[in-house]
Structure 1
Amino acid sequence: MRTFVAIDVNQEIRDVSQEVIDKLVSMGFKATWTKPENLHLTLFFFGEMDEKSVDSVAHSLNKRLQGFPSFSTNLSGFGYFKFKHSPRVLFLKLEPTKSLQRMYLEMKSELTKNKIKYDDQGNFVPHVTLGRVKEYPNNWEELVKEIQTPKITLVIDGVTIYSSTLTPQGPIYKWEYKLKFEGGLIKNVR
């Protein structure tokens, strides 16, 4: 199964995401937009893994994150990744707080120690993907400067391991494990 580990977002961030997507659509952006229920902050993308490997990753990350103090970060605006002069991915930015960075590095260290392969993008940019761009207006960089977001706090007290099934209607995510810092590894029993 295609697998990744992520931080779930709250309803306030889902609502703002939809407002921003609506603005982008009205500006003339065409993209594969993320469905509200699929919004998350990806930490590590593993690609294809069998169930035994997913169980192993869940247990080792749970052990590593056990007792990690809950923390929060804030929504800090709109952003994009571009290739040459074209926007590729549109997203909401989250503040890269010290706690978020520390948690990410703890997890990265555990994955490396256990020789678990993941898609390494280099430096960690905490973001919630809104869409992958297909078409965009000529003056897109000027237009997106107008996008404002409220300050929303996201409390983080654990991470979730998801499987992703690709369909013509878009990906379907299913949580496999929820890892809570204050103790607890919950497996989704189907």
Structure 2
Amino acid sequence: MRVFTAFELPESIKDEIYKIINEKSALLRNVKWVEKENLHITCKFLGEISEKQLQELLSKLEKKFKKGEKIRISITNFGCFPNFRNPRVMWLGVQGEVDKLKKVWGSLEEVSKILKIGEREKEYIPHVTIGRLKSSIILDKDWVKYTSKEFEITHLTVFQSTLTPTGPVYKSIVKIPL
């Protein structure tokens, strides 16, 4: 099964971000916009893993994270990967207790390395992907101006991702308290 981990967003934040997507979709037609129900802050993409690997992953993560941690963040700042001059992925960034999100990601890197799943990543930039460009245009950081209310992250969700002709379908497998 194809698996990734993510921090879920409150419905009110998804509503606000989706309003932005609706406004911007009228201006840019060469973009595959993210569906409202798929908005999240990706932590780590793990790729194709077996049921056994999934169970090992869950066991190790549940031991690492059961501490009752709350991470206070907000969504803000428009960005693009790899850059504004050649954007392929459009996203909104995260501010607040980003160091705590990075700590969770670091733990996931350790566990996935031990289990030999997922690819190693040099750094983690917490973000909410809002769209993927099909052809190149030049954008700048002021194209989207938005800052959400602060909210709490209390768990990491493990999702199964199924690719379909109309786009990915995400199914929550388990929520692991932080």
**TM-score strictly above 0.5:** yes
Cross-structure match for 2:107 = 106
CA RMSD of aligned residues (A): 2.0
Identity among equivalent positions (%) equals: 27
The TM-score normalised by the length of structure 2 is: 0.89
Helix, strand or coil: the match of 1:87?
A: coil
Q: C-alpha distance in 1, partners of 2:44/2:17?
A: 22
Q: C-alpha distance in 2, partners of 1:40/1:150?
A: 16
Cross-structure match for 1:153 = 150
Amino acid at match of 1:132: R
Cross-structure match for 1:65 = 65
Amino acid at match of 2:91: F
Q: C-alpha distance in 2, partners of 1:80/1:13?
A: 20
Deviations 1:35-60 (Å, cap 9, x if unpaired)?
11111111111111111211111111
Larger Rg over CA atoms: 1
Deviations 1:51-92 (Å, cap 9, x if unpaired)?
121111111111111115212111122111136932100111
Aligned length: 177
Q: C-alpha distance in 2, partners of 1:175/1:59?
A: 17
5+ residue gaps, structure 1, are 182-190
Q: How does 1:1-190 map to 2 (within 5 A)?
A: 1-82=1-82, 85-95=85-95, 97-112=98-113, 114-135=114-135, 138=137, 140-142=138-140, 145-181=142-178
The TM-score normalised by the length of structure 1 is: 0.83
**Contact kept? 2:57, 2:111, Cα under 8 Å:** no
- Higher alpha-carbon deviation: 163-172 or 10-19: 10-19
Amino acid at match of 1:156: I
Helix, strand or coil: the match of 1:43?
A: strand
